[in-house]
Amino acid sequence: MAFVPTGPEASFFDALDRHRASLLAVVKQGTGKAPAGVTRVVSRFEDSVGLQMIPQCITRKIKSDSPKSVKKFALILKILSMIYKLVQSNTYATKRDIYYTDSQLFGNQAAVDNIIDDISCMLKVPRRSLHVLSTSKGLIAGNLRYMEEDGTRVQCTCSATATAVPSNIQGIRNAKFLLIVEKDATFQRLLDDNFCSRMSPCIMVTGKGIPDLNTRLLVKKLWDTFHLPVFTLVDADPHGIEIMCIYKYGSMSMSFEAHSLTVPAIRWLGLLPSDIKRLNIPKGSLIPLTKHDHMKLDSILRRPYISCQPFWRKEMEMMADSKMKAEIQALTFLSSDYLSRVYLPNKLRFGGWI
């Protein structure tokens, strides 16, 4: 059964359709290069992929005969043997499963996580090729149907409920756009306001803060499969911008797997620092930047990919000058449903993204 659009009339999506056409034009060039006017940066950053590990990176040596690293070496061999058995039997396990096989030996979950990342990097294969999965924390809702690896058919709905992000999917339906929402609370509020139904056909995803691997893989697969416009809705603060950058450009810790995780076509829909001034959000609804915020903002501004995003830089400089940040909830000053009924629809209709 096909989805029946219940959202706005077709002309509402004119700006989205034009944006998608421009994205497809870039894709059809076969290079994945950034649009004209964007300067390619010679660094760890590749504008068509994101942050990538460079060949001249520093290596870490683990020796079996060194007292300092003998335990780490033993743990690597232990996990490698488990991975071998998983691959041989064509079964999968989560990182949590591996930790609980001998929690006293591993000590903590972080030790397992770091070793699995090291093995994936050392073998130059995605973590999934090791048959090791992460427990999903993300949620997805909207006009989407897919089949899980075990054959289970899942149909997301445009209702007040969401589905856990799957670890693997076989088939996907289309939509007009994908909206990545930073926080679970905002995601749930949009569901309660029937945002997906009113903006149908669309898909919403949240990683509940910093996204896990499964959420990033799903966003990447939706982009690769349909090349539909992807937008982010994050707080107007350094932490929200950091999360947006992870989806778009990747993270240093997973740079060896950037090609399968990043979506450089992602656009910043909101909340923009310039929106705060444009909408006359009162100062009482804003939050002063902390010392940590200033340090994080300075760090982001120094990253190589920011030179490719002059509009992003302008917004961040505006935040630094004002010394204030704002959560998405600051929009409730205008009305309780301003975000879902006015802010987002206007942004999508009139191309209010950067």
pLDDT in tens, 289-332: 999 999 999 999 999 889 889 999 999 999 999 999 999 999 99
Segment 183-237, tens digit of pLDDT: 999 999 999 999 988 898 899 999 999 998 889 988 998 898 889 899 999 999 9
- Using the predicted structure, report yes or no on whether residue 43 has a pLDDT greater than 60: no
CA quadruple 320, 323, 325, 330: dihedral positive or negative?
negative
What confidence score (pLDDT) does residue 343 get? 96
pLDDT mean across residues, the chain: 82
Token output for 319 = 């935040």
Q: What percent of the chain has pLDDT over 90?
A: 40
Answer for the pair 111, 150: CB distance below 8 angstroms, yes or no. no
Structure tokens at 77: 């061999």
Q: How far apart are CA 74 and CA 54, in angstroms?
A: 28
Predicted TM-score (pTM) of the model is: 0.74
The catalytic residue positions are: 100
101-112 average pLDDT score: 87
Both tokens of 271, joined, read: 């909340």
Among the listed residues 103, 109, 118, the one whose alpha carbon sits nearest the alpha carbon of residue 69: 118
Q: Are 163 and 154 in contact (CB under 8 A)?
A: yes
Q: If DSSP codes are grouped into helix, strand and coil, which group holds residue 128?
A: helix
Using one digit for the tens of pLDDT, what is the confidence trace for 9-24? Answer: 878 999 999 999 999 8
pLDDT of residue 156: 66
- Give the Cα separation of 242 and 251 in Å (integer): 9
3-state secondary structure of 315: helix
Q: What's the whole-number mean pLDDT along residues 239-262?
A: 80
d(CA 106, CA 85): 19
List, in order, residues 6 or more apart from 270 with CB less than 8 Å away: 233, 234, 236, 328, 343, 344, 347, 352
323 CB-near residues (< 8 Å, 6+ apart):
288, 289
